Amino acid sequence: MDDSTFRQLKDSCFHHPEVTDVIFDYNKMLEMGLVAINSIDHGFDILWDKVMFNFLWRYFKDGIHLAEKQAKKKTSG
């Protein structure tokens, strides 16, 4: 994802433009994921391969648990 598209997404709170893209920059991906958890209206899809999942689990386990907790809180409250 190029920087211009990422800026447009951030400026619109990740609502526009609607894109399907592969994000290779893990900093962008993590930022999008954290913001998205708090702004989900109808759903959120993400696809990770085994390498990405293992990387995230190894270095961001606490963040994954926090995101899961926030998602559960949002859907129950």
pTM of the model: 0.44
pLDDT at residue 25 in the model: 82
Domain range list for the chain: 3-76
Is residue 55 within 8 Å of 26, Cβ to Cβ? yes
Measured CA to CA, the distance from residue 45 to residue 60 in angstroms comes to: 19
SS3 65: helix
pLDDT tens digits along 2-40: 888 888 988 887 778 888 877 788 788 778 777 766 666
Measured CA to CA, the distance from residue 64 to residue 10 in angstroms comes to: 21
